[in-house]
Chain A
Amino acid sequence: MKVLMKGNEALCEGAIRAGCRFFAGYPITPQNEVPEYMSWRLPEVGGHFVQAESEVAAINMIFGAASTGVRSMGSSSSPGISLKQEGISYCAGADIPFLIANVMRGGPGLGNIAGAQGDYFQSTRGGGHGDYKLFVMAPQGVQDMIDFPTHCYEIAYKYRVPAMILADGIIGQMMESIEMKTPEIDPKNLKEPDWALGINNTGRPKRRVTSYDLREGMLEKMVLERVKRYRELEKEVLWEEKMTEDAEIILVAYGTSARVSATAVKMAREKGIKAGLFRPITLSPFPKKRLFELASKTKDFMAVEMSLGQMVEDLRLSINGKANVHLHAKPGGSLIAPEEVFDSIIKVTKEGVKDYATIK
């Protein structure tokens, strides 16, 4: 059965289907539907919602709740996510899995409330202090918003890393017809993790949730143990390809930019230009091996992003000099038009511009 839903609300329903039973949040546009929806929906399924006094308090409520093994979630938009970074770093340092959504808006600073992709670095490089990574998924529409939470929780709990859904204001606000495909998980059927804080009437050893160790060399040991899990996490990389087999140029884009790029690829194909689309679904880990493979037959790649050229750096690292990497960038919370991207395709394929970079 298909239902018409707004991206932000689908995200909530997806999280609840995935067993989320705790949410703490703070109002910020364009993600306000998330705390609003959770405030009435979570109590219906026996969960808990807290409107926190700040983004900082919200992430720490999530830290507390998630430490008890309850599937917990937070959401915010760019400036709010910046405020949460300390708490996210603590969760990562204490190996506490949870789900956080960033419905990105234009920045830096207060910026604007339109959709943007300027938080790519923040999301894929850790974001807060210290050596850590998140598992980051990039939805490109409302269907992804409802589907991704299930996968995020699965990966987050398997590897004990926080997971992030990196959406943007457009995906959060748009309404689309979707299917509820993911199974409904009853948290009662989930096994309690062996690290979860709680009532200890079995005489098990006490459990500690902590990110510190001041003893000589012990923090290094703790971080290196985590690095092993990050290496394992690499195999959870996901991507999608369209018409890349014979492509002379491959556009690389995620989220809203991927949808715009898909239209531009279609326009190019109609004009006889062999364009393809590569859409990273996970941004961390980034599909670098596959991109490197593709670079052996395709000579031109172009990052298309609603930011000042952030994802293009991962693309360059993946291609590692094996092909040309171009950039079509649009910062400031403005939507990219397919025609602009098409123009950039022409510049590279027909006019042969080397190291093409346009910041529109």
Chain B
Amino acid sequence: MPKQGKIEVNEERCKGCYLCVSVCPNKCLEKSDKFSKTGYYPASYKGSGCIACMSCAKICPDLAIKVYEL
């Protein structure tokens, strides 16, 4: 059984480059439709599907992602 995870995106640090979205094997990240305080549409976790593979955190240039293993 694959690991189960959870992703937290720090909206104030995210600059909306979506590198995380592009590398997620389970497509569980998406572009938010809410504008952040810093002026971007941040990436956001869809709420399910994370397998705690860390790909998103490894490619994030802004250290805006925290990955938890459930």
Judged by CB atoms under 8 Å, the answer to whether A and B touch is no
Q: What is the interface of chain B, defined by CB distance below 8 A to chain A? A: none
